[in-house]
Amino acid sequence: MLKVIKNVSLILIILGHYAFCGYVLKEVHKALDYKPVLTTYGEKEDNDTLEVTLENDTEDEPILASEPEKKVLKKNYLGVITIEKIGLRQYFYDKNSSLNNVDKGIEVLNASDMPDENLGNFIIASHNGNSSIAYFHRLHELVNGDIVMVNYNNVLYKYQVSKIYEVPKTGKVIIDRDYSKKTITMITCSGEDKQLVVVGYLV
């Protein structure tokens, strides 16, 4: 009888281990499933919002850089985003670069303005979650008043977070901003069915 109990216990432990590993893998895949790509750029409306269309691409696996590639990444970057509060300091690349990809780092969306454009909106996205490319995994910790710094073309742009909100994950994000101010917009996933949008203005 004791032997049977031991065998049953062993089987339950093994099944529990597989169930736990399956859950962890499921959460990791969820974190990597979201790949924002700007496909349309809406017109400014009376309420100062912009509708951004995003596509989910679940087929591509994230591409992690090898050590030689990491050296190239550091040489060819266009600028650096720094958010001291959440320990973020990461390169970003030209919109036409193969390195400008949410599966490799922080992506500058196609219809984004660059930081030096007058009253422009610098729109960037990155993964949330626990993977090595989830640079926005602590974005939810930001609050109004926090500082985001962007070094671009040897000029430091300092933005203050002014608006934080979530939208349903429908493939579209409404960017609610003041068009009279130079803006940064950061987008990432928030749970299974929402997207987090953080908007800041130049100070």
In this predicted model, what pLDDT tens digit does every residue of 109-152 receive, in sequence order?
988 999 999 999 999 999 998 888 899 999 999 999 999 999 99
On the question of pLDDT at 51 being above 90, the answer is: no
Supply the pLDDT for residue 151: 96
Identify the structural domains of the chain with CATH numbers, from first to last: 34-202 (2.40.260.10)
Q: Using CA atoms, how far apart are residues 57 and 59, in angstroms rounded to an integer?
A: 6
On the question of pLDDT at 67 being above 70, the answer is: no
Alpha-carbon separation of residue 173 from 45, 77, 143, 165 (angstroms) = 14, 27, 20, 11
1-14 pLDDT, tens per residue?
666 666 666 676 76
Instruction: Let me know: does 79 contact 124? Beta carbons within 8 Å.
Output: no
Supply the pLDDT for residue 162: 98
* Residue closest to 106 by CA, chosen among 75, 139, 84: 139
Supply the pLDDT for residue 16: 62
On the question of pLDDT at 168 being above 60, the answer is: yes
* pTM exceeds cut of 0.75: no
On the question of pLDDT at 86 being above 70, the answer is: yes
The larger pLDDT score, comparing residue 31 to residue 123, is at: 123
On the question of pLDDT at 96 being above 50, the answer is: yes
Hey, which residues are catalytic here?
127, 189
Supply the pLDDT for residue 48: 59
Instruction: DSSP for 126-179, please give it.
Output: ---SSSTT-TTTTGGG--TT-EEEEEETTEEEEEEEEEEEEEE-SSEEEEE--T
Instruction: Let me know: does 82 contact 149? Beta carbons within 8 Å.
Output: yes
Supply the pLDDT for residue 153: 92
